[in-house]
Amino acid sequence: MNDLTYLKRLFQAYYQEEHKNFPVISSFNLREFGVIPWEKKVFMKRHMRFENPKLLRGYLIQDPPRHLYSSGSLYLEPDAREMESKNYQGCDLIVDIDVDHFYTPCKEKHDLWYCKECGAEGTGMPEKCPECKKSKFTKLNWVCNDCLDVAKNEIKKLVNNFLIPDFGISEEDMRIAFSGHRGYHLKVESEELRKLNTDERREIVDYLTGNNISFELLGLTERSKEIFGLIKENRGWSQKIMNKIEKILEKPKEQIETLLLDKHLFGFNSNVVNSFLNYKDDFLELITKGKRNIWAIEGFGLTMWKRFLKGIVKQVGVELDEPVSIDIHRLIRYPGSLHGKTGFKTQEISLSELEDFKPLDEKNEKLDPIVFKSKKNLTHKLEVVAEALPITKIKGVEYGLIKKERKSKSLIT
Amino acid sequence: MSIPNELINRHPWLPSLKTFYSNFWEKSYEEFIAEIFSKDISNEIAERVLIIFESAFNNLEDIPNKKFDYLNIYVYILLKILLYALNNKTITNRIANLYSKNAYNDLERENSESNLYDICQDLGLRINYYNPPIDYGIKIVKDYREKLKTNFTIHFIDYLRLASNLRDEYRKLTNNPLEDGYVFIQNKTLIRLIQEYVRNKLLIEETEDKASLNAFLQEASRIQRFKDMFDKIESLWDKRKEEFKFSFKIDINSKEEIQTLYPPCVVEILKKAEEGQNLVHHERLFIVWFLLALEYPVENVVDIFSTLPDFDRGKTTYQVEYAKKKNYTPYQCSTLKSLGLCMANKYKDKLCLEGYGSIEPTERKKLKHPLAYVRIKQYRNEKEKFKKNKAKQVLEGSKRQDE
C-alpha cells in the first residue's frame, strides 16, 4: 500500500466513524462543492452539488477527498459548469485569517525557505532572497502554538473590535472555524450581507484592515508649521487609533523602543525612536487630557507622523486574506472535514469557546481538531520525507528539530 | 408609509410615484405620449423638457427656472421616454448627471430634515433621525473648534449601496464613523447619496432591440408635437456633439497603438469618458498621471475630458500642465483596488489576474503597477513579432533550399 492510499483509508475511516455527527451547513443544497482528490495529477474538482447531507456523507465514505470545500455563495444551480449559469443568489461574508499571509516572529524559528535561484537557505518570511535578491523559493512552512495564537487574536479583534461594535452584526450570525492548518475562518450568514457586491465587500475589507485610511480626513493637518493630530473623541477609526496610541504610550520605554524599531510595523531608526521616547510622556498627557491636539515631537513632520499612524493602523486593523472576502465565488473548507496537509479537522467553535481553544492541545474532546490519536501507547516508525522538521509541539509532545542533507531521506523513530 | 403628494411633485423619481400615479404605469409609452400631447399642458411640458436638454448640452450645472408643480412628473416621465428614444449613451449620461445634480440642489435648497427623512423612508433606506442632532466628534485646528453633529445615521449596507460607486476618498467607509451598524452622516452627504440614486434611475442602457425602438419611434412620430420636440433635441445635439468627441488614436515610438497595451482600469475610464459619464476625482487624477507617464501630449490628455459634463478647457489645461510639471506617479494596483478602480475581474484580464514571469502558476509574479502592464504587453508583442519574423525567415529559407 502506498502512502497516499494509506492516508486515504485513514480519512475514510474518519468519515465513516463521524458520519452521524458530520456538520450540515446552512442552505446546504444551494452550495457548490469542490474537492481535491488524493491522485497527484488531479487539481481541484469544482461545480459539484449534493442534494442533501446524506449524499455528501455517502460520497465522503465512498471516495474520501484530500480536501473538501463548499462555496460561500448560494446558487440555484450550483453544479452548472459556468459561473454565469449557476444562478447566483448571494454570498456569505467570509473572513479568512491565515498566518501564511502575514508576519509572525515565530516564523523565524519554523518557516524554512530555499532559494531556487542561488541555493541559499534560511528561516522566516523574506520577500526576496537576501543573497541573490530573486523571489523564487521552495518553502517549508510549519505551525506552532504561537502563530495559532496570533491568528486567534486576529479573529477576536475582528469580532470584538469591528463586527459587533461597528457593524452591529450579531453573534448568532457568525460561524467561526479553525481551518485545520494555520488559521481561522469566520463566516457571517445574514440575508442582507449576502446581497453585497464585490465593490461593497471591498469597502468592508478596507474598513476592517484600515487600508487606504485618509489621516487628513481623520483630522491630521499642518498649519503654520504646527501639526494638528487626531482626536480621541471622534468616533470611528480616529478613536481606535488614539486608543491604541494611548495603550502603547503607557508601556515601559523598552517595549515602546522595540515596537518602534520593528521593521514590520514602524521601522524607525534609533534617532527617531530616541526623540519619540523623550517626548512620550508629554504626548500621553496631551492625548489623555484631550483639550488640544498639537502633536509636537522633535524630528516629526507630517510624513513621519503618517508613517507612525500607518504602523498604528497595522496593529489596530485585522490581518485578513483580502481576496477571500471580496471574491464571491470562493470555496472554503467544509466544517468537520479533514485538512489534507495536516490531517486535522476543520473545527467549528463558538465565540465563547474561542478564548480557551487550543488547536494543538485541546482538552475538550468535542472541539479537538486532532482526530488521529493512538489509543494505546505505541511507538510508530515514520519516515520524514521533507528536508527538515522544525521544532513543534503537538499534544504536549515536542518533535524536531530534524534537518537532513538536502535531497536525501532519513528514518527516525 | 404615506408621503406628501407635494413631495412627489418636487421629486418625481421617488418610488411612491408608482403608487400615487399608478395609472401612468398601466399605459404604454405611446399611450402616455398621446395623452400628454392631446392636453393644453403639452406646450409647457415640451418647453420644460427642452430646457433640460439645452442645459445639459451647454454644460450647465442646474436647470434654470424649474417649477415644482404636478407637471414636473410628466416632465420626468417624458424625459425617460426621450432617453429611450434617443438611445444615445452620451446624451443619457449628460441628462442623468444634470438632472441628479439638480435634485441635489433642490434638496439642499429645501433644507428640510423632515423632507429628507420622508425621502429616505420612501427610498427604503434604513436611517435614524436625531433631533436635536447628536455629537460624533470634534474638529480642532489651532483656535478653531467645531463640534461634529448630525441629524442622521444610515445603515452601513444602504450606505455602501449608494456610496461604493462614488469612489471619493471622503465617502470611503473607513473614513466615516460607524457604530452599531450605522454610519454617522452629514445631511449634505446624505443628499449627495440621494443624487447618486437619482442618477442611476435615469441611466437607461442603450437598447439592442432596434426593431422595438423603431416601431416606437414610428408610432410616436405620428404625434406631430412629439416629433417636433424630438427633432429639435436631435438638431441641438447635432450642433454640439462634435465638441463632446475625442479622438484617442496616438502612436508611441514603436508606432504601435498604445490602446491595445492598456490595462483594463485605464480602458474603463476612457470608455466612461467617451460615453460622457462623469469621472470621479481619483479617476481624473489617475488617467492624467497615467497618460502623462506615457508621454502623451497635454492637449490630447485634455481632449479626453471634453466629453465630461463640467468640462472647462482652460481650467483642465492648467491642471494637466501642472500635473506634468509635478511628474506624479500614477496609482499602483493596490490603491486602484481600494478605490474600486481596478477592473481586472470585470474585464477578466489574464495578465492582471494571473500575473506574469512564468508558466508555473505558483511562480508567477503579481502585477503591481498599471505602467508595468504596458511594459509587459509591449515586451510580449515584440517577442511575438520576433517569433513570427523568425518563423517567416525559416520558412523562406527552406523554400529557397527546395528551389
Q: Do B137 and A231 touch (CB under 8 A)?
A: yes
Average pLDDT over residues B210-225: 90
- Res B47 pLDDT > 50: yes
DSSP string, B143-161: TEEEEEEEEEEEEHHHHHH
* Angle, vertex CA A62, rays to CA A61 and CA A65, nearest 5: 75
Q: What is the pLDDT of residue A119?
A: 85
Return d(Cα B125, Cα A83) in angstroms, integer: 31
State how far residue B177 is from chain A, nearest Cα, in angstroms.
4
pTM assigned to the model: 0.83
For residue B129, list its beta bridge partners.
B152
Q: Phi/psi zone of residue A210: left (φ > 0), alpha (ψ -120 to 50 degrees), beta?
A: left
Greater model confidence, B401 or B3: B3
Interchain CB distance below 8 Å, A167 and B178: yes
**Which tens digits make up the pLDDT trace of B125-172?**
999 999 999 999 988 888 788 899 999 999 999 999 998 777 778 889
CA distances to A28, A338, A342, A362 from A346, rounded to whole Å, are: 17, 6, 10, 14
Q: What is the pLDDT of residue A1?
A: 64
**Would you call B193 helix, strand, or coil by DSSP?**
helix
Confidence of residue B252 (pLDDT cuts 50, 70, 90): very low
Which pLDDT does position A405 carry in this prediction?
Answer: 67
Pick the range with the lowest mean pLDDT from A2-6, A66-70, A405-409, B177-181: A405-409
Scan residues 341-360 of B and list those with Cβ closer than 8 Å to A.
345
Secondary structure element (H or E) that encloses residue B194, with its range: helix B187-202
pLDDT of residue A313: 97
Distance (Å) of CA B171 to CA B30, B201, B339: 41, 21, 10
State the pLDDT at residue B131.
Answer: 92
Per-residue pLDDT tens over the stretch B332-378: 998 888 788 899 888 888 899 988 887 777 677 889 999 999 889 88
Cβ partners under 8 Å of residue B254, min gap 6: B378, B382
Are B140 and A136 an interchain contact pair (Cβ–Cβ within 8 Å)?
Answer: no
Question: Which of residues A330 and B272 earns the better pLDDT score?
Answer: A330
| Residue B74: closest CA among B39, B45, B34, B50 | B45
Q: Do A198 and B345 touch (CB under 8 A)?
A: yes
Q: What is the pLDDT of residues A24-38, one digit of tens each?
A: 999 999 999 999 999
pLDDT at B240: 81
Give B206's DSSP letter: P
* Average pLDDT of the residues of chain A: 90
Over pLDDT 90: what percentage of chain B?
A: 43
Q: Do B173 and A207 touch (CB under 8 A)?
A: yes
Of A167, A199, A214, the CB nearest to B175: A214
Q: What SS3 state is found at B203? A: coil
**How much of chain B, in percent, has pLDDT values that exceed 70?**
94
Å between B280 CA and nearest CA of chain A: 15
Contact call for A234 and B138, based on CB within 8 A: yes
- Say whether pLDDT at B246 is over 70: no
What was the pLDDT predicted at A406? 58
Closest CA in chain B for residue A137: B363
Interval A393-403: pLDDT, tens: 898 888 888 87
Whether the Cβ atoms of residue B15 and residue B123 lie closer than 8 Å to each other: yes
List the single residue in B with minimal CA-CA distance to A234.
B137
DSSP, residue by residue, B43-112: HHHHHHHHHHHHHHHTT-SS-TT---STHHHHHHHHHHHHHHHH--HHHHHHHHHHHHHHHHHHHHHH--
Compute the radius of gyration of chain B from its Cα atoms. Answer: 26
Distance (Å) from the C-alpha of residue A401 to the closest C-alpha of chain B?
Answer: 28
Do A72 and A187 form a contact (C-beta atoms < 8 A)?
A: yes
Chain B closest-CA separation from residue A234 CA (Å)? 4
User: Dihedral of CA B387/B389/B394/B399: which sign?
Assistant: positive
A143-176 per-position pLDDT tens digit: 888 999 999 999 999 999 999 999 999 999 999 9
Task: Tell me whether residues B172 and A214 touch, CB distance under 8 A.
Answer: yes
Q: Does residue A181 carry a pLDDT above 80?
A: yes
Q: At what angle do helices B71-86 and B210-221 cross, to 10 degrees?
A: 130
Confidence at residue B300, expressed as pLDDT on a 0 to 100 scale: 85
* Distance of alpha carbon A3 from alpha carbon A344, whole angstroms: 17
Q: Is A365 helix (H, G, I), strand (E, B) or coil?
A: helix
Looking at residue A413, its pLDDT comes to 31
- Mean pLDDT value of segment B267-278: 83
Q: Which of B101, B384, B66, B86 is closest to B229 using CA atoms?
A: B86
Most A CBs within 10 Å: which of B130, B134, B173, B282, as the mutation test of the A interface?
B173
pLDDT at B334 (0 to 100): 86
Q: How far is B263 from chain A (nearest CA, A)?
A: 19
Q: Is B365 on the interface with A (CB under 8 A)?
A: yes
Selection from A49, A47, A57, A61 nearest residue A24 by Cα: A57
| Average of per-residue pLDDT across A217-237 | 92
- For the ranges A255-264, A369-378, B265-274, the lowest mean pLDDT is seen at A369-378
Residue B154 neighbours by CB under 8 Å, 6+ apart: B120, B125, B126, B127, B128, B182, B183, B185, B190, B193
Q: Look at B383 and B237; give whichever has higher pLDDT.
A: B237
Of A166, A207, A214, the CB nearest to B179: A166
Say yes or no for a CB contact (<8 Å) between B340 and A196.
no
* pLDDT score of B309: 67
Residues from chain A that touch B137, judged by Cβ atoms under 8 A, are: 231, 233-236, 238
Q: Do A228 and B164 touch (CB under 8 A)?
A: no
Predicted local confidence at residue B255, as pLDDT: 39
Q: Please say if the pLDDT value at position B24 is more than 80.
A: no
Pick the residue from chain B with its C-alpha nearest to A192: B157
Q: What is the pLDDT of residue B258?
A: 57
pLDDT of B244 over the 70 cut: no
Strand partners, A96: A185
Which of A235, A295, A328, A330 would best serve as a mutation to test chain B binding (most B beta carbons within 10 A)? A235
The SS3 call for residue A266 is coil
A212, B339: Cβ pair inside 8 Å? yes
d(CA B340, CA A74): 24
CA distance B279 to chain A (A): 17
Q: With a cut of 80, say whether residue A408 has pLDDT above it.
A: no
Encode pLDDT of B291-347 as tens digits.
999 888 898 888 888 777 667 788 889 999 999 988 888 999 988 887 888 998 888
Return the minimum-mean-pLDDT range out of A163-177, A275-289, B99-113, B231-245: B231-245
Number of alpha helices (DSSP H) and beta strands (DSSP E) in chain B: 20, 6
Residue B205 has what pLDDT? 74
Q: Which residues of A touch B (CB under 8 A)?
A: 135-136, 165-169, 192-193, 195-200, 202-204, 206-207, 210-214, 217-219, 221, 223-224, 226, 228, 231, 233-238, 292-293
* Min distance B360 CA to chain A CA atoms (Å): 11
B-chain CB neighbours of A233 within 8 Å are 137-138
Q: ipTM score of the complex?
A: 0.91
What is the model's pLDDT at position A407? Answer: 52
- Contact state of B161 with A233 under an 8 Å Cβ cutoff: no
What is the chain A residue with the closest CA to B148? Answer: A234
